[in-house]
Amino acid sequence: MFSKDIYIKRRQKLINDVDKGLILFLGNSESSMNFLHNTYKHRQDSSFLYFFGLDRHDLSAIIDAETGEVVVYGNDYSIDDIVWTGRQTSIADKAKSCGVDKSGTVDNLKSVLKEAQIKGRKIHFLPAYRDSNRIKIFEYLGIEPSNNEAEASVELIKAIVEQRNYKSNDEVLEITKACNTTVEMHLAAMRFAKPGMTEAQIAAEVEKVALAENGNISFATIATINGQTLHNHYHGNIIKEGQMFLLDAGAETPMGYAGDMSSTFPVGKSFTSEQRDIYQVALNSHEKSISMLKPGVSFKEIYFESAREIMRGMKDLGFVKGNVDDAVQAGAHGMFFPCGLGHMMGLDVHDMEDLGEQYVGYNNEEKSKEFGLKSLRLGRDLEPGFVLTIEPGIYFIPELIDMWKADNKYSDFLNYDKIEKFRNFGGIRNEEDFLITENGYQLLGKELPKTIVDVESERLKAFE
């Protein structure tokens, strides 16, 4: 964890920003796989990590926004637990390590909350994304699990987003560590994959890099020859010469900070000429987006420019016709680019998605409901301290082609005869992570090979 002063400062700012009442933080419980004691690797809640840095299951905390009192709650292990888990730091000592002098048991927590309710005090809590915490909030506060999100405190969400969206230098160093490991994960795949292997073999080679750093993967690895399926977690195919391989994978540091990168490379030593042409269009869009990163620029505008760049390139290749600006204005780029351009990243790979994208990525404005644009997780003006991904892609999704073609959708802009011939082409995406600085941007982590020449030269290492 960071030094305790950092957590004290973060909590003090929260106390200043939240007007009245108690702020309740619920850490995460263990999560079972197939029976109670067979659990997934524990992942602490990110807001709990941000304000307390404590990575044990079943911890909670209350901050009194009026008196400034902070208490960490949890039950100490009994000897029955210790024989299985080994010696554990007491809850009191854990609390002290993040600058909190007071601690209590779960029963103490329940009575403090009951008393506050009797006195009619406001109790702020965050929307729960795990059922175990929905149930705890029901048990502690009587709020039905189905009302959890509606009853969560918008004031608290906004105050937390206002802190977590701006990464400190210490956080940037941690994220950079995650990004460097993430680059190594991608290099491992490029130097390993060969025709005849399964996607699963490559996924395993990639994930071991993150695990060997004593961290974890930051999200479920996408390692696929079917890159047109955006979140494709199936790893059962045998990869063949002539196909492209899309890897979207990232590392999480032991402190919980994420990296998130994508690369696309040929399964053989080199891309085919059709793959090369379309790869270059996707890469041009990626580079164009990066060149626009600086404070004051709207990320939504960068998204539209990345879409125009894709449509310009696809027009040169005969997939698109008509005026490119009009095509993007109408939404025709959704055929190839039906998702967003990037997202905030930090303690979560999609940072604070649990708190709501309208607060994190849209500065409290409503998000679009249009196809394509509704998947843009970030649309606000950029500010120094933001950490985000850039990840435009070009995808040929057979079901989308069939549906839009049947409806003659955007037929003024889309050349369906040509698109149809590429229905099994797959998908291409490059993704890198950036910090917005006072004057522009900084790439986080080492550079990933992404030009055609660099990717093909990296691929040769797999065949040496």
E strands within 311-426? 387-390, 393-395
Report DSSP state, residue 242.
T
- Cα(118)–Cα(121) distance, integer angstroms: 8
The CB-of-405 to ligand GLY minimum distance in angstroms stands at 27
- Does residue 263 belong to the site contacting Mn ion (CB under 5 A)? no
The CB-of-431 to Mn ion minimum distance in angstroms stands at 5
Q: Are 259 and 216 in contact (CB under 8 A)?
A: no
- Does residue 219 belong to the site contacting ligand GLY (CB under 6 A)? yes
Identify the residue among 248, 252, 305, 432 touching ligand GLY (CB under 6 A): 248
Q: Which is nearer to ligand GLY, 315 or 350 (CB)?
A: 350
Which residue bears the tokens 């009619």?
A: 120
The CB-of-274 to ligand GLY minimum distance in angstroms stands at 26
Give the distance from CA 125 to its chain's centroid: 22
Q: Which is nearer to Mn ion, 134 or 429 (CB)?
A: 429
Residue 35 burial by CB count (10 A; 0-12/13-18/19+): exposed, middle or buried?
exposed
The CB-of-342 to ligand GLY minimum distance in angstroms stands at 8
Q: Which is nearer to ligand GLY, 47 or 232 (CB)?
A: 232
Which residue bears the tokens 């998908």?
A: 427
Q: Is 286 helix (H, G, I), strand (E, B) or coil?
A: helix
- Cα(155)–Cα(22) distance, integer angstroms: 12
- Does residue 285 belong to the site contacting Mn ion (CB under 5 A)? no
The CB-of-391 to ligand GLY minimum distance in angstroms stands at 7
Identify the residue among 45, 174, 184, 260 touching ligand GLY (CB under 6 A): 260
The CB-of-445 to Mn ion minimum distance in angstroms stands at 14
Identify the residue among 29, 389, 413, 426 touching Mn ion (CB under 5 A): 389
Q: Are 240 and 261 in contact (CB under 8 A)?
A: no
Q: Which is nearer to Mn ion, 176 or 389 (CB)?
A: 389
Q: Which is nearer to ligand GLY, 129 or 219 (CB)?
A: 219
Residue 219 touches which of ligand GLY, Mn ion, none (CB < 5 to 8 A by kind)? ligand GLY
- Cα(1)–Cα(351) distance, integer angstroms: 19
- Does residue 182 belong to the site contacting Mn ion (CB under 5 A)? no
- Does residue 351 belong to the site contacting ligand GLY (CB under 6 A)? no
Q: Which of 459, 60, 139, 72 is nearest to 269 (CA)?
A: 459
Q: What are phi and psi of 414, to 5 degrees?
A: -110, 130
> In sequence order, what are the beta bridge partners of 217?
251
The CB-of-80 to ligand GLY minimum distance in angstroms stands at 41
| Encoded tokens for 231 | 């979140």
DSSP secondary structure of 149-189 = HHHS-HHHHHHHHHHHTS--HHHHHHHHHHHHHHHHHHHHH
Q: Which is nearer to Mn ion, 249 or 397 (CB)?
A: 249
The CB-of-259 to ligand GLY minimum distance in angstroms stands at 10
Q: Which is nearer to Mn ion, 27 or 250 (CB)?
A: 250
- Does residue 260 belong to the site contacting Mn ion (CB under 5 A)? yes
The CB-of-137 to ligand GLY minimum distance in angstroms stands at 28
Q: Which is nearer to Mn ion, 221 or 389 (CB)?
A: 389
Using DSSP, how many helices (H) and how many strands (E) does the chain show?
17, 17
Residue 456 touches which of ligand GLY, Mn ion, none (CB < 5 to 8 A by kind)? none
Query: Which x/- pattern over 57-96 shows residues binding Mn ion (rule: CB under 5 A)?
Result: ----------------------------------------
The CB-of-261 to ligand GLY minimum distance in angstroms stands at 8
Q: Which is nearer to ligand GLY, 248 or 456 (CB)?
A: 248
> In sequence order, what are the beta bridge partners of 133?
none
CA contacts within 13 A on the Cβ side of 53: 19
- Cα(210)–Cα(250) distance, integer angstroms: 8
Residue 422 touches which of ligand GLY, Mn ion, none (CB < 5 to 8 A by kind)? none
Q: Is 452 helix (H, G, I), strand (E, B) or coil?
A: helix
Q: Which is nearer to ligand GLY, 233 or 240 (CB)?
A: 233
Count the residues of the shown chain that bind Mn ion, applying the rule CB under 5 A.
2
- Cα(227)–Cα(205) distance, integer angstroms: 18
**Pairing verdict, β 427-429 and 38-39:** unpaired
Query: In the complex, which residues of this chain contact ligand GLY (CB under 6 A)?
Result: 219, 248, 260
Query: In the complex, which residues of this chain contact Mn ion (CB under 5 A)?
Result: 260, 389
